[in-house]
Amino acid sequence: MIIFAVMESRYYSIRMHAGRDGNHLSGAERLVPQEEVETVAMAMLQRAGEYDPSSLKISVDEVDSDDIVSGALPNLTQVPVSDVRTGREKAIQALLAAGVTADVAVSAIETIAKGASPDGGNMRGAMLIDAGTGARLEPDQARGIRATRMDILPELFPRLEQELEKKDLAHHRTREALILAAKVLAAPGIIAELCWSDDPQYTAGYVAAPGFGYLRIPHMKEVGDPHGGRAFFCMPGFNLESSIRFLEETPFLADRIGLIGDKSGG
Ligand code: WAQ
Ligand code: MG
């Protein structure tokens, strides 16, 4: 058998976790072809260093290229609000539009706001919430469900950065959240996602759903508030296992960029 030198690129999942005294400081997650592993790992090392961690882990795992699922990035729409109360109201309206029951939407926001982990802190991953009953379905309420192994095709990366920059959205958090949301929306049984950052200085969050894409809400909490989190809302009665397996294990590459709307809500 003749094997040609033209090989499909191998893909690697690269994960970084930096902490101090057992507390999480910074994390990152990429899925890149072999030739980018070194550059991306170096960039993560550099980023983690800015947090002065006492412990820093970078792991590189090959993924099976045949397993990679692709899909589009959701369109990003900026919701023009100027305070937290209005921001959270908009988030609730969006969740309702996505099919989440009103009480469940309100309670998800309250839970993230007070710290969704049983110890009152932030979870490491996301809550998995039944959109009809509000039941929390994640097996571990401190860890939650972790969406991992997702990225955008390397050739689309520069254009995505440009498009985001044009709309003053150059922060890496926005790009990363958009890619994470793309994978979450592609997961079987998931109808919506709610998120805001746990960084006390970063007040923005979003609601994402297949119907309206990624609604970016600049004020989901006050500056200085250390709480943040995520909720993945699922259809009642769906197959929990397949959804969790997709979110945590299946490699996902976005192969299309959506529209990035401007500040007036376009
Ligand atoms: N999978 C599931 N949940 C996660 C993951 C993950 N891979 N990473 C973080 N979380 C959960 C966890 O509870 C964190 O406390 C919470 O989400 C927030 O994480 O358009 O930066 O990394 O600019 O602080 C929103 C972007 C920023 C708004 C999100 O999240 C925008 C952000 P953070
Ligand atoms: Mg964080």
Q: Does residue 127 fall inside a structural domain?
A: yes
What the block records as the tokens of 190 is 């998931």
Same domain, 91 and 158: yes
CB 219 within 8 A of CB 199: no
Ligand 2 center from residue 199 Cα (angstroms): 6
pLDDT score, position 113: 98
Residues spanned by the domain of 37: 3-67
The DSSP code for 63 is E
pLDDT score, position 192: 98
Integer Cα distance of 39 and 42 in angstroms? 5
What percentage of the chain exceeds 90 in pLDDT? 91
Residues constituting the chain: 266
pLDDT score, position 7: 53
pLDDT score, position 238: 87
Same domain, 171 and 108: yes
Same domain, 162 and 207: yes
Instruction: Classify residue 35 as exposed, middle or buried by CB count within 10 Å of its CB (0-12, 13-18, 19+).
Output: exposed
- The answer to whether the pTM exceeds 0.85 is yes
Q: Whose CA is nearest to atom 4 of ligand 1?
A: 125
Q: Which ligand is nearest to the CA of 225?
A: 1
- The average pLDDT across 82-87 equals 98
* Ion ligand 2: protein residues whose beta carbon lies under 5 Å: 198
What percentage of the chain exceeds 70 in pLDDT? 97
Same domain, 78 and 154: yes
Interval 114-171: pLDDT, tens: 999 999 999 999 999 999 999 999 999 999 999 999 999 999 999 999 999 999 999 9
Q: Does residue 266 fall inside a structural domain?
A: no
